[in-house]
Structure formats: structure tokens, C-alpha cells
Amino acid sequence: MSHAVARLRAERLARSNKPFIARGSRAVRCADCRVIASHCLCALKPKVQAGSGMCLIMHDTEPLKPTNTGWLIADLIEDTQAFGWQRTEVDGGLLALLEHPQWQPYIVFPGEFVASERVVHEVAPVAGKRPLFILLDATWTEARKMFRKSPYLDRFPVLSLEAEQMSRYRLRRSKRDDHFCTAEVAAMCLDLAGDTQASQALDAYLDVFSLHYLSGKRHLPLDLHDLPHQRLQAFLQ
């Protein structure tokens, strides 16, 4: 596995003074999909194209968590970059990405916490540029801190999503139904940008990932012909 989140995970492990102990760590996991080996997901990774790019700014331990869904985004969206967040330093690669002329960056964050003149609710076409969605991959408390303490993001428009549906993500619970996991947010951004097929594929992939992860954790068999797998099958060609 060589995508951006996998590389960031390897870098984070190399810097660690002690091993990261995830829940369910006694189980043998597939190194590529992070699911218990008996419920491996690797053969079910969709193949889609997208005009949009993703920039994941990840809190310290996020790349290490097997439940992290930024990994799914990097599996699908070729133009995905991932950077670790630090309070006192900024990755030079991140700054270079934000300055690249092919991209129109949008920082994705709830508009209620931002000055109204920065908030947008749509992805407007910009001649010669592709949308680059900046996602703060962290818990809600951590993401708010990251947003406040990352002044290099202050000049970009804030894309505030107005999703009516409740989050279907079941691996890490939020106390608020309008808090979405990172892959759900990415799917909504892709849809706004007109990358409809990629949005639907990521949504289907998230459902199947959640199913495999929880079924493996609970030692339950999988039905590869159920509705979630049928939905995903359309994107495996």
C-alpha cells in the first residue's frame, strides 16, 4: 500500500517511542485494509475517476487508527495528499500544495463557527483550477483546535455542508447526529463538485468497510451478495 495515508502512517510509526495499541489489537489485521484478516476488504476497492483533490490534515494518532476513514478516501481518490498536524510547525509540502496553481482550496468546516463572509455552500467553477477539499481528520474537539490554530488556512473559503441525513457511520460514535466521519464529508464534497460517481463509490465503500470491520470484530459471517456489496459491485469494474 503506497497511498498518502499509508505513507503518513509509516512515518508516524517510525517516530513513535512506543507502539500504538488500538482496540482489538490482538486480532490479526490485513496490513492494507486494516480489517481483521478473515474479513479482508482488499478485493473490493472501487476504481473511479475524480476531478477533485483531497487534502487530509490529520491529528497525531489518526493515521494509526484502524477505524480511520481518511484511508478509504486515499484508496479511491488518486489526488489525495495527507499531512500530520502540528501546532508549531507546518509541513512544507502542505504549503506548496495549497499554493499550486491547479487547485482552488476549500477548507471544509461548519459555517456556524466562521465569519459569514468566508462561508460558501457551493463549489463554484474557477477557470483553470480544480477543487481541493481540505479535511481536518480528527475528533470534533481536536478539529476545532486545529481550525483555530492553523492561520495558513485563514485565506481560503470555508465550505459549510448542509446535510439533512443523519450520519450512518457506526465505528466511532458522536454525540451529535450532524457530525460526520471524514469519508462521509469527502463524499458530500465530491457530490457538490460534480464528481457524482466518485461520491457514490466512496459512500458504498464506506458502508462495506463498516460492515466488514464490525462483522470481523463480532466474528460474524459476511454475505457478499447483500445490498451493500451489490451497491459497491457497480464500481469494481
pLDDT in tens, the chain (237 residues): 589 999 999 999 888 766 655 555 568 899 899 999 999 999 999 999 999 999 999 999 999 999 999 999 999 999 999 999 999 999 999 999 999 999 999 999 999 999 999 999 999 999 999 999 999 999 999 999 999 999 999 999 999 998 665 567 667 555 555 578 999 999 999 999 999 999 999 999 999 999 999 999 999 999 999 999 999 999 997
Which residues form the domain of 41? 4-233
Total domains in the fold of the chain: 1
Q: Which of 45, 6, 2 is nearest to 212 (CA)?
A: 45
Assign residue 220 a region (left: φ > 0; alpha: ψ between -120 and 50; beta: otherwise).
Answer: beta
Determine the longest span between alpha carbons in the chain, in angstroms. 51
Average pLDDT of every residue of the chain: 91
Name the region of 34 (left: φ>0; alpha: ψ -120 to 50; beta: rest).
left
* 26-29: long-range contacts, CB 8 A cutoff, minimum separation 24: 27/216, 27/217, 29/66
pLDDT at position 2 is 84
Instruction: Give the CA count within 13 Å in the CB-facing half-sphere of 67.
Output: 18
pLDDT, tens digit, for every residue of 108-156? 999 999 999 999 999 999 999 999 999 999 999 999 999 999 999 999 9
> Residues with Cβ < 8 Å from 75, sequence gap 6 or more?
3, 45, 46, 205
Q: How many CA atoms lie within 13 A of 227 on its CB side?
A: 0
Q: Output the pLDDT for position 169.
A: 60
pLDDT at 35: 95
The confidence score (pLDDT) of residue 107 equals 98
Residue 225: closest CA among 206, 200, 208, 205:
208
| CA-wise closest residue to 31 among 17, 46, 42 | 42
Q: What is the pLDDT of residue 172?
A: 54
Instruction: From 162, 142, 166, 146, select the one nearest 154 (Cα to Cα).
Output: 146
- Separation between Cα atoms, residue 1 and residue 98, nearest integer Å: 25
